[in-house]
Amino acid sequence: MAINQHDDLPPAGPPAKVDIRAGRFSRLSRIREVIRRNALLNTTWRIGVFTVGITVLTGGLIMMVTPGPGLLGIVVGLAILGTEFAWARRALHRAKAAADRAKEKALDPRKKRRNTILAVIGGILVGALVIAYLVVYDFRLPWNVADWTPWA
């Protein structure tokens, strides 16, 4: 059986230009290029991106200690800042690499099994402690309470 290697060769001539950004995105990129050419507009744009990015990033940091998707806020804030600033782009790449390492570590079967066993043992211990507390301090169900006044 013969293999025709001629079909596998790229076509002769200069490579065709492929516009990845089509339609709506090409219009936005053209607007951004016009803004980049004007120094005042470019500075204003960068200040706006910085303000929005830092606000979202700060919100993500606050949500790390309060209820909310803190990591998502941090990543989105860095992504917004990364559109204009190289330091934010590098920080975002490092954060993505750290997240990939953490994911691989969490999905390791041995560690996953160990964490499951520890969680079950911890749950049993907490349940036993709650039952022991209720036995020691004479827990009574609400429908068995003789005196309903809480400050007697």
CA distances, 92 to each of 50, 60, 83 (Å):
15, 14, 11
* pLDDT over 70 (residue 21): no
Percent of the chain, pLDDT > 90?
A: 31
For 102, counting Cβ atoms within 10 Å of its Cβ (0-12 exposed, 13-18 middle, 19+ buried), the class is: exposed
Residue whose C-alpha is closest to residue 78's, from 94, 101, 62: 94
Neighbours of 145 (CB within 10 A): 10
**pLDDT computed for residue 1 by the predictor:** 47
**pLDDT computed for residue 17 by the predictor:** 52
The residues spanned by each domain of the chain are: 21-144
Asked if residue 73 lies in contact with residue 108, where contact means CB atoms within 8 angstroms, the answer is: no
Between these two residues, 94 and 10, which has the higher pLDDT value?
Answer: 94
Tens-place pLDDT, residues 45-95: 999 999 999 999 999 999 999 988 888 898 899 999 998 889 989 998 998
**pLDDT computed for residue 55 by the predictor:** 95
Question: Which of 5-19, 98-112, 120-134 shows the lowest per-residue confidence on average (mean pLDDT)?
Answer: 5-19
Q: What is the pTM for the complete model shown?
A: 0.53
Ordered DSSP codes for 69-92:
-HHHHHHHHHHHHHTT-HHHHHHH
Q: Where are the alpha helices (DSSP H) in the chain?
A: 24-37, 39-63, 70-82, 86-106, 109-136
